[in-house]
Chains A and B, each alone.
Chain A
Amino acid sequence: MTAPDEKKPTAPDRREFLARCGQVALGGLFVIKCTPALADLVASDGADDIPEWAYAVDTTKCIGCGACMRACRAENNVPESQFRTWVERYEIRGDHAVRIDIASDENNATFLSNATPAAEAKDGRVKAFFVPKLCNHCETSVCVQVCPVGATFRTKDGVVLVDPEHCVGCGYCVQACPYSTRFINKETHTADKCTLCYHRITKGLLPACVQSCPVGARIFGNVKDPDSEISRVLRERRYTLLKPELGTNPRCYYIGLDMEVV
């Protein structure tokens, strides 16, 4: 047993020291926790003015003309044999045989196809429809998650973009996208995909594909605006998402999908 050491009155009391440590830690925590919140408060002026873009595809209207594909290629300099958007054609016969191919963007009479024709059904009847595809601009984007350098990001107005100045071209995002909407651009050697024509929509124009669709199968707009066409469509029509089980939370809504669509 030793008596408590009282020879060093100058030494700080341990209990006091620990209490001070706790105060400093709490204070620091408060500052760290509240700084972003305060910053958000300051910056939140006009947060409601920021639109939230979304996209809907009405597969009951698409006629497979490929105008959207041509418009996209011209607008965004998409290299040959790479696609920011494409249109799938489905043929489902009475016996559930499925044939899928892709509308050509060269002319609307031919189809790119390596598909073997489905066996003729006994009654010869076929259900056929077109499904346009593009980047789903997912809220929980896998591509944003996996980009090792942070070159892929999601904007405040809900568009997933790639910074071509920063992308290293590793291809990880191309592998990660469940919808195969990404590719490494053959000319720029960086990741590339649909941007919803960000350069147009930020100036109040429509994406090139929406602009060029002759039948209104592609619907684009601000879901924060209750009077926008997209808000109306999502209110009135039944829609689904592509591969919802993957938890990507796409912002591209599909109307009139068949269960065979992947």
Chain B
Amino acid sequence: MFEFVFPNDLNVTWSVMIVLYPYITGLVAGAFIVSSLYHLFGQEALKPVARFSLASAFVFLIFAPLPLLIHLGHPERAFNIMITPNFQSAMAGFGYIYTAYLIVVAIEVWLVVREDLIARARGTGPIALLCRAALLFNVRSTEATRAADHRAAKFLAGLGIPMACLLHGYVGFLFGSLKANPWWSTPLMLIIFIFSAIVSGISILVFHYMTISRINGWKLDRPCVRTMGKFLWGFMIIAVSLELLEVMSVAYKQTEEWEIIGKLIGDKLFWSYIVLQYLVFSLIPFFLLAANALFKLRLKVSNTVVFIAASMLLVQVILMRWNVIIGGQMLSKSGRGFTSYVPGIFEKEGLITAAIIFTAPFLILYLFHRVVPLFPVEAMQKKTA
């Protein structure tokens, strides 16, 4: 192998922040789709997590642009993307798509929690006043208003699905349409991003719901967990198949780019891509979720199996994002050499920043839960000793 890297390729431009961004929007899109499975597609088994998934999508969506802002060379000019958009650019629609989707999700959340807000608004004190303000001082609740809210929420759930796919799919398209980079340049990228998003979204809900239930000693809703496990299995099969299909077709065709891509995955990304992304974090969850979907396991076993699989798939998707985004920048456009990237810990675009951005949504969700419960009453039943 000739070790030749173009001099400007030695610096990796898109840091761990750009790995985090599609990860978070993926969680948003995935969580939103779970909430729509209940609100729109009548998956009654998902009722315990329906509101929780919508709230998760909303909260993660609020934090999604943060890694991008931190990454921009001039964040104070961020609104240029909406003031002077160049619509030839796949990136230019971001501001509009993001804003429109944020509005849709925010209104849907508002409609779904309206009844609980009305209940909280009846008292006195700052929280009650806040709730009244959030309700625009309209605390009427009748059969008719509830039906109207429900209809509107259903409509927004339907509208939100293509928007969620658009918000996350365009990121995939952005990478997939870059002809300069053989590791990115594939029309499959958009669809790979969407399906991996759904996988990560379902996974975060399973992980978070089961963790919260464990902490609070709630009785787990078994049909809900099992249904999520089944959906997870289906979507992960599609996601991983697409990821494999892309690489296998490049490998089999043996065109010029295979020379560098083969070395990238066989050498530079060997551990993070072949071993971890596929052999460990795809294969093991696949068998675990297959067991959950195909056999009637004992309650404890089946819950444990789904929990482990979901936790592993959360790692699988972050690995996939890393391997795509960092891996693509490791190969030089000379096609003859590689650079390397290790994220700093304390720097502006480092690991601590990433950890803060990623944990903040969970704290906001906790505060949300303090005002308006994230789960229906029946999901919060204590386990009987």
Contact = CB atoms under 8 A, between A and B. Distances in A.
A130 B85 CA distance: 41
A168 B72 contact: yes
A103 B142 CA distance: 78
A176 B72 contact: no
Contacts, number: 133
Contacts of A214: none
Given A149-B80, A150-B86, A180 B94 contact: no
Interface string B3-24: 1111111110110000000000
Given A148-B94, A149-B86, A169-B74, A179 B333 contact: yes
B89 A262 contact: no
Given A145-B88, A171-B13, 5 more contacts: A114-B5, A151-B80, A176-B178, A177-B333, A180-B334
Contact of B180 (A86, A169, A246): A246
B336 A100 contact: yes
A167 B178 contact: no
Contact of B335 (A88, A146, A262): A262
Given A148-B86, A183-B8, A189 B80 contact: no
Main secondary structure, interface of A, reads loop
A182 interface: yes
Interface string B57-78: 0000000000010011111011
A179 B88 CA distance: 20
A189 B74 CA distance: 7
A148 B81 contact: yes
Interface in B167-190: 174, 178-181
A169 B73 contact: yes
Interface in A189-207: 189-190
B8 A172 contact: no
Given A262-B334, A262-B336, A150 B2 contact: no
Nearest to B15: A171
Contacts of B332: 180
Contact of B77 (A146, A168, A188): A168
A81 interface: yes
Interface in A213-262: 246-247, 262
Contacts of A154: none
B84 A150 contact: yes
B242 interface: no
Given A145-B88, A175-B178, A168 B14 contact: no
A155 interface: no
Contacts of B337: 114
B91 interface: yes
Contacts of A181: 8
A80 B231 CA distance: 52
A184 interface: yes
B8 A99 contact: no
Contacts of A102: 7
Chain A: number of interface residues, binned into ranges: 35 or more
Given A81-B10, A149-B85, A190-B74, A172 B91 contact: yes
Contacts of B91: 146, 148, 170, 172
A44 interface: no
A115 interface: yes
A101 interface: yes
A83 to B, nearest CB: 5
Given A142-B179, A142-B180, A171-B14, A184 B336 contact: no
Interface of B: 2-11, 13-14, 68, 71-75, 77-78, 80-81, 84-86, 88-92, 94, 174, 178-181, 329, 332-337
A66 B91 CA distance: 37
A140 B2 CA distance: 30
A1 to B, nearest CB: 41
Contacts of B80: 149, 151, 166, 168
Given A145-B88, A182-B8, A183-B8, A169 B181 contact: no
18 contacts: A98-B2, A100-B2, A100-B4, A112-B7, A114-B5, A114-B337, A115-B2, A146-B90, A148-B81, A166-B84, A168-B73, A174-B13, A175-B329, A176-B178, A177-B180, A180-B9, A183-B11, A246-B180
Contacts of A160: none
A187 B222 CA distance: 56
Nearest to A150: B86
Contacts of A246: 179-180
Interface in A94-137: 98-102, 112, 114-116, 118, 133
Nearest to B1: A116
A147 interface: yes
Nearest to B73: A169
A82 interface: yes
B7 A83 contact: yes
Contacts of B77: 149, 166-168
A27 interface: no
A144 B92 CA distance: 12
Contacts of A99: 2
A39 to B, nearest CB: 21
Nearest to B94: A148
A178 interface: yes
Nearest to B325: A175
Nearest to B76: A168
Contact of A178 (B4, B71, B180): B180
